[in-house]
């Protein structure tokens, strides 16, 4: 008895030591990443959803609960509040903003590790962590101080809580996720689906009463969402669709051909940025397992909680006109990495060939940051480290325009470079005011004397690009793979 107790204690100590090593690797990696990115400004949707929302609460000292209609896109505003609290405590700066994201990065890494260790043989856990660290879209979002890392972090925390039956922790993850955005509320439903699938996978004979008791954890978050949107409706006159905002067109439902195209885009997003090699190897490993052995219970569970929520989610986001961004699918990217490694042993090849596969997968993922498509095909700049090259170029562009006689607010351009510096870099600039550039959709192209174009912009139509090709190039800047061009209207004097 004494010997058995000692053996059990030793095993526990060994397990704790292993966890500690992985925790340290996760903390060190994301600490270093956060330190290296302290000067990276807000970019893309994070300007509106994080920076502008946080500025409102910071500037008003939290005297108002709801955002003004000009900033209200229907998302709960609590992440903006969260960021504003950090600014009030430590000062409004980019370094503080990145510090606020760091806890979510660590939670994401630790939750992912525990999910992986449940499904993946311990020999493959270092590879699991490697695939998380180098996943291009997650790596890029991790340096942009954005809102999507918090969503991913809480979704993985929720999955971890389901797998290890930590219902109180699951309740916290659900409430926080729903407080961040509308996609967070959808993610609550996806976790609910995963939860039901998980309970049935553990016992097909589970009694309805027992299943219902497990699902009680979803009542508080449901009541919280209903209460918030009830009061939001009383205050604004709409629930989640602000038709007076610039995003009103995104609320429309799509036609059948558009829906099919959206499904194609989702598949493209999943395979994009170097993930195609990972998926080819994963599919081959799954096929080999099906052909020569049998699926284990854990492998079936993993496929169920990954693929069925993905299908439901794809149907939901595919029905609306809103563009489908890469970052919407980040939770499934990491689950596919775990799927690959859970079937890794099924590959009927020698170990050196498996190592070669892992090298090719890693190389392919790292090369994903260079996936810049020719115009007018949209590139996912908010999920590529290539976007960092734009920030270096941006300072040169501002200084060069400053030395011309062209007022900044007369230059037409498009999202995402229309955001004023006080919201992106969190400081006022002597050479630009809050109305940095004119937003192009307010007037036709021909009404502008000058247009600033950059390939980080995805919103120029082919017709507009064709028109710009006939204009005079006043200045061209390049910082591969990013470039920007200042065009001058050939009808300049007639416009004046």
Q: Is the model's pLDDT at 11 over the cut of 60?
A: no
Q: Which domain holds residue 232?
A: 2-370
Beta-carbon-side half-sphere exposure of residue 46 (alpha carbons within 13 Å) = 27
Same domain, 235 and 90: yes
User: Mean per-residue pLDDT for 446-455?
Assistant: 89
Same domain, 349 and 486: no
Measured CA to CA, the distance from residue 64 to residue 1 in angstroms comes to: 64
The pLDDT assigned to 430 comes to 41
Q: Is the model's pLDDT at 396 over the cut of 60?
A: yes
Domain boundary among 322, 337, 370: 370
Same domain, 405 and 478: yes
- The answer to whether residue 375 is domain-embedded is no
The pLDDT assigned to 106 comes to 97
User: Mean per-residue pLDDT for 208-221?
Assistant: 89
How deeply is 189 buried, as exposed, middle or buried, from its count of CB atoms within 10 A (0-12, 13-18, 19+)? Answer: middle
Same domain, 333 and 387: no
- The answer to whether residue 376 is domain-embedded is no
**Span 246-290, pLDDT tens digits:** 666 767 788 999 999 999 999 999 999 999 999 999 999 999 999
3 pLDDT tier (thresholds 50, 70, 90): very low
The pLDDT assigned to 5 comes to 53
Same domain, 387 and 428: yes
For residue 315, the SS3 value is: helix
Same domain, 169 and 300: yes
- The answer to whether residue 31 is domain-embedded is yes
Across the chain, what does the average pLDDT equal? 88
**Span 170-189, pLDDT tens digits:** 999 999 999 999 999 999 99
- Site of tokens 């980080």: 456
Q: Is the model's pLDDT at 4 over the cut of 70?
A: no
Share of the chain above pLDDT 70, in %: 92
Same domain, 244 and 142: yes
The number of angstroms, rounded, from the C-alpha of 475 to the middle of its chain's C-alpha atoms is 34
Domain boundary among 306, 337, 370: 370
**N-to-C CA span, the chain:** 94
- The answer to whether residue 396 is domain-embedded is yes
* Cα separations in angstroms, 207 against 113, 202, 210, 295, 300: 31, 12, 5, 26, 21
- The answer to whether residue 228 is domain-embedded is yes
The pLDDT assigned to 378 comes to 82
Query: Picking from 81-95, 429-443, 478-492, which range would have the lowest pLDDT averaged per residue?
Result: 429-443
- Nearest alpha-carbon partner for 112 in 129, 124, 134: 129
Same domain, 303 and 416: no
Domain boundary among 348, 370, 392: 370
**Span 123-146, pLDDT tens digits:** 999 999 999 999 999 999 999 988
Residue 243 makes CB contacts below 8 A (sequence gap 6+) with 251
Same domain, 439 and 354: no
- The answer to whether residue 54 is domain-embedded is yes
Most confident of 121-130, 240-249, 316-325, 377-386: 121-130
Same domain, 6 and 83: yes
- The answer to whether residue 116 is domain-embedded is yes
- Site of tokens 């960092």: 388
Same domain, 345 and 453: no
Same domain, 21 and 118: yes
Structural domains in the chain (count): 2
- The answer to whether residue 425 is domain-embedded is yes
């Amino acid at each position: 008895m004494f010997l058995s107790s000692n053996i059990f204690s030793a095993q526990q100590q060994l397990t704790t030591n292993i966890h500690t090593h992985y925790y340290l690797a996760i903390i060190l990696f994301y600490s270093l990443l956060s330190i290296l990115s302290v000067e990276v400004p807000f970019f893309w949707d994070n300007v509106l959803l994080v920076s502008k929302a946080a500025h409102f609460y910071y500037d008003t000292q939290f005297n108002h609960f709801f955002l003004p209609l000009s900033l209200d896109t229907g998302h709960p505003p609590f992440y903006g509040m969260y960021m504003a609290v950090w600014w009030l405590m430590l000062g409004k700066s980019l370094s503080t903003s990145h510090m606020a994201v760091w806890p979510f990065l660590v939670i994401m890494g630790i939750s992912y590790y525990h999910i992986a260790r449940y499904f993946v043989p311990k020999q493959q856990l270092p590879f699991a962590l490697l695939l998380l660290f180098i996943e291009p879209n997650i790596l890029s979002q991790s340096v942009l101080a954005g809102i999507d890392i918090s969503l991913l972090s809480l979704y993985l925390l929720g999955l971890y809580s389901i797998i290890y039956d930590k219902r109180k922790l699951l309740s916290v993850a659900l409430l926080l996720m729903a407080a961040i955005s509308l996609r967070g509320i959808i993610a609550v439903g996806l976790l609910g689906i995963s939860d039901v699938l998980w309970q049935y996978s553990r016992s097909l004979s589970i009694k309805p009463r027992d299943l219902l008791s497990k699902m009680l954890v979803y009542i508080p978050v449901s009541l919280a969402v209903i209460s918030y949107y009830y009061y939001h409706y009383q205050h604004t006159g709409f629930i989640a669709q602000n038709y007076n905002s610039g995003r009103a067109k995104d609320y429309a439902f799509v036609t059948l051909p558009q829906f099919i195209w959206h499904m194609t885009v989702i598949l493209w997003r999943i395979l994009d940025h170097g993930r195609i090699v990972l998926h080819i190897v994963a599919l081959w490993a799954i096929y080999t397992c099906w052909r020569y052995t049998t699926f284990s219970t854990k492998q079936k569970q993993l496929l169920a909680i990954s693929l069925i929520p993905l299908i439901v989610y794809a149907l939901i986001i595919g029905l609306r006109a809103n563009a489908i961004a890469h970052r919407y699918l980040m939770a499934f990217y990491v689950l596919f990495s775990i799927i690959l490694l859970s079937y890794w042993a099924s590959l009927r090849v020698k170990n050196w060939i498996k190592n070669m596969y892992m090298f090719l997968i890693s190389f392919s993922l790292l090369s994903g940051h260079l996936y810049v498509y020719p115009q007018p095909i949209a590139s996912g700049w908010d999920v590529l480290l290539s976007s960092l090259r734009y920030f270096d170029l941006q300072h040169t562009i501002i200084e060069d325009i400053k030395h011309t006689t062209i007022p900044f607010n007369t230059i037409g351009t498009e999202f995402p470079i229309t955001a004023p510096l006080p919201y992106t870099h969190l400081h006022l600039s002597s050479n630009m005011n809050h109305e940095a550039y004119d937003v192009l959709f307010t007037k036709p192209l021909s009404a502008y004397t000058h247009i600033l174009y950059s390939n980080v912009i995805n919103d120029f139509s082919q017709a507009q690009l064709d028109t710009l090709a006939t204009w005079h190039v006043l200045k061209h800047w390049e910082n591969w793979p990013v470039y920007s061009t200042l065009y001058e209207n050939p009808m300049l004097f007639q416009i004046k």
